[in-house]
A and B are shown apart, each in its own frame.
Chain A
Amino acid sequence: MSLRIGIPRALYYYRYFPFWETFFETLGFEVVVSRPSHRGLIEEGFKFADDDTCIPMKMVFAHTIDIKDRIDLLFLPRLLSVDGKTCSCPRLAGLPEMLKYSIPRLPTILAPYVDERYRNSTLFRSFSQMASALGKRSKEIKQAYQQAESTYQLIRKRMEGGENVPELFEKAGKKNLFSPKNDSGKKIAVVGHPYCLYDPYFNFDLLRILGEAQTSVYTQEMVPKEEIDSEIQGFGKDVYWDSGREILGASLYYLDSNQVDGLIYLTCFSCGVDSMIEPLVRHRVEENGKTLYLCLMIDEHTGATGVLTRMEAFIDLLERRRKRR
């Protein structure tokens, strides 16, 4: 029987899952993903989580508890720097230890340390070290890595094309939920960390609400990387967080190119990255003066009704602005 590797459906699952899945499955492991977030699962996990962290971190606790009895190994990569220039939120790097010391009876954690800024901890090296510790030969590993890389690039292309990430990951879904080609409707850009944007439990299915309101949704995944780089260069300060850089670059891109009518910044309570990036985006919106802006901060107590009401008001306002023009 092959080893079962568990991946919590949280944090960078929403970005790199196709890569991880292909890598492990090509090597002959079985990949187990935790169930989609739901109330019972989350509340059980919050009991173990520390109160000084943000909800996405608490979600990891919840999803880990959900799968820990069904797996042999828990996969929690430490993605410190994936592109060699930026770094991730430091909480993510300390996550394996935080889980280890907080949750009892946890399976062994696989935590490859990825920091592309140093030569002995590149993505390939860390992953191959991890796989060879699991008894795989280097030829197999190389093959699996290449396959994972090409799958990821393919998926990434489709993300840029505007496909809904969770559905893309489920393999079954091919439906294009938000249709950016639809020029007649209202256009709204939604930015935020991938784990805020694509977890429908976390954001009360915000993307579906927007889709049902006949709007075209744009996310930061749809902005080409070169555009983000040039926007950040134009901004003057080199933002060193990977997600922060992406969010700021994408928002500036949408604002400068006047592509969208409205911008929604989705954030979670006590997020360190967003606390510094959000004021910068807001400032640019005020300077720009053309785009409608909404910062939606979500914490454990936010109710679905509250989010729905604010979304409806936002869409109504967009409508009214259009009519006045």
Chain B
Amino acid sequence: MKLTVPYLGHIDIFLNAMARKIGPEFIFPPKTSSRTLLLGTKYSPESACLPFKFILGNFIEALEAGADTIAMITDHGPCRVGMYDVVMQQILKDLGFQFNWIVMDDTRILGDYLLRFNRERKRRGVSFWGSLQAIRFSWKKVRLCESIERMAHKMRPLEVGRGETTRVLTDSLRWIDEASSFRELDLVFHQCAERFNRIEKDSTRNPPKVLITGEAYMVINPHANQDIERRLGEMGVEVTRTVWFTTQITHALHLDLLNPKSKRKAIKASGPYLKHNLGGECNASIGYPILYKKEGYEGVIQLLPFGCMLEAVAKNILVRVSQEYDIPVLTFSLSENLSETMIDTRLSAFVDLLQKRRERSRSISSPIKGEGNNYE
């Protein structure tokens, strides 16, 4: 069995680590390129959303590379991701591919997948303890990858030589992917942190902080959002995003009760604006800006695939959140007609706006503050 899955953040590092310990063999789709999107767009229904086109393109390339089994998640609405599997299977079959299809349905985790996993484990002769260790190891790898990404987000606006952070980040991720034991992993992580510290930086800069929120696939995957984190970082902005591989998993398994900025808390924060949870990332997209505004974030970028059913609601409500919490929001509605220039132009205008807001608040607030002090 040569299994392939759609990209979601560092899922490739996670599953590779697991595959090396307990199998099965994974064939990841080749790195998403313009050919991927071209293939996806060509064979997708015209008005399917951008994630559909990317994932279909990925699957086609993975099948060409020799994969024979596809694992795809499904859902019970209201987002259309739950219908992806039927439509995709049909398209791939019409294209003449031979493959097995595994549907990952979150309501059947206990009844079906754990049993199936257990059967597979026994067939391969892996001990129960061994598979638990493998899961723990893979999980740790992803956690480390994400903390390295967070370091890069902080370092990029401060770097003196442009592109230095991105180089270190790419190397670090590769090293982590190659590590094969807990000891080695700790060592590698230490080295990566060291390399980040050695990057020449200008500490006098005070970069504005921007939050990237929106639809999960668009936020988490650099190929879908045109590497918006790097672009913003190189414009001198410190970014963070709301969707991470680990947070998605912990949210699904209800393990994020202690996290102060979990999706659950964000949904709660969106309450005054949208009383009912509509599903997807809609409520979280409204709630996260409120949570992060309190942390001193100065701007929000919302990403959505064009025609997204849920995020369009969030977009309309974010206008009001933006006014009431005094935080500018820039919305990117992305389709397959991506233009780097468009993204760069809009981003640099947004960064200018953030700078202007800083200057203005400085010039207005200081005399008033002085006056206030006199009265006291």
Contacts and interface: CB of A to CB of B under 8 A. Distances in A.
B78 interface: yes
A97 interface: yes
Contacts of B84: 276
A283 interface: yes
B153 interface: no
Contacts of A279: 45, 87, 90-91
B82 interface: yes
Given A90-B279, A91-B312, A275 B86 contact: no
Contact of A240 (B82, B276, B317): B82
Given A101-B316, A283-B90, A240 B78 contact: yes
Contacts of B314: 94
Contacts of B276: 78, 80, 93, 113
Contacts of B87: 276, 279-280
Contact of B306 (A52, A97, A98, A240): A52
B130 interface: no
A87 B317 contact: no
B317 A88 contact: no
A50 B48 contact: no
A91 B78 CA distance: 9
Contacts of B307: 52, 270, 272, 275
Interface in B266-282: 273-276, 278-280, 282
A101 B312 CA distance: 13
A95 B77 CA distance: 17
A95 B84 CA distance: 25
B278 A270 contact: no
Contact of A91 (B77, B273, B313, B319): B313
Given A94-B278, A94-B282, A237-B86, A89 B309 contact: yes
A91 B278 CA distance: 9
Given A272-B49, A279-B87, A52 B282 contact: no
A86 B272 CA distance: 27
B255 interface: no
Given A241-B78, A272-B49, A52 B315 contact: yes
B47 A274 contact: yes
Nearest to A121: B276
A121 B221 CA distance: 37
Contacts of B274: 94, 97
B316 A97 contact: yes
B22 interface: no
Interface of B: 45-49, 76-80, 82-87, 90-91, 94, 273-276, 278-280, 282, 304, 306-317, 319-320, 333
A233 to B, nearest CB: 14
A53 B316 CA distance: 10
Contacts, number: 112
Interface in A245-281: 269-280
A80 B78 CA distance: 9
Nearest to A244: B83
B48 to A, nearest CB: 5
A52 B45 contact: no
A88 B279 CA distance: 12
Nearest to B304: A52
Nearest to A115: B276
A240 B76 contact: yes
A311 interface: no
Contact of A53 (B83, B91, B312): B312
A239 interface: yes
A223 B53 CA distance: 34
A90 B282 contact: yes
Given A90-B78, A240-B77, A275 B47 contact: yes
B47 A94 contact: no
A97 B313 contact: yes
Contacts of A283: 90, 94
Interface centre among A78, A101, A277 (most CB of B within 10 A): A101
A275 B90 contact: no
A90 B304 CA distance: 15
Contacts of A272: 49, 80, 307-309
A94 B78 CA distance: 12
Given A52-B306, A275-B45, A101 B319 contact: yes
Contacts of B310: 90-91, 94
Nearest to A54: B307
A276 B80 contact: yes
Contacts of B315: 50, 52
Contacts of B83: 237, 239, 244, 276-277
Nearest to A275: B47
Contacts of A52: 304, 306-308, 311-312, 315, 333
A89 B78 contact: yes
B49 A101 contact: no
Interface centre among A78, A88, A98, A297 (most CB of B within 10 A): A98
A90 B79 CA distance: 7
A200 B106 CA distance: 42
Interface in A205-258: 236-237, 239-241, 244
A13 B312 CA distance: 22
Interface centre among A97, A269, A274 (most CB of B within 10 A): A97
B320 A101 contact: yes
A129 to B, nearest CB: 14
B48 A276 contact: yes
A102 interface: yes
**Nearest 6 Cβ contacts at the A-B interface:** A94-B313, A240-B77, A276-B83, A275-B47, A272-B309, A90-B78
B78 A270 contact: no
25 contacts: A50-B312, A80-B276, A90-B279, A90-B313, A93-B276, A93-B313, A97-B313, A97-B316, A101-B317, A101-B320, A236-B86, A237-B83, A240-B76, A240-B77, A241-B77, A241-B78, A244-B83, A269-B47, A272-B80, A272-B308, A274-B47, A275-B49, A276-B83, A276-B87, A279-B87
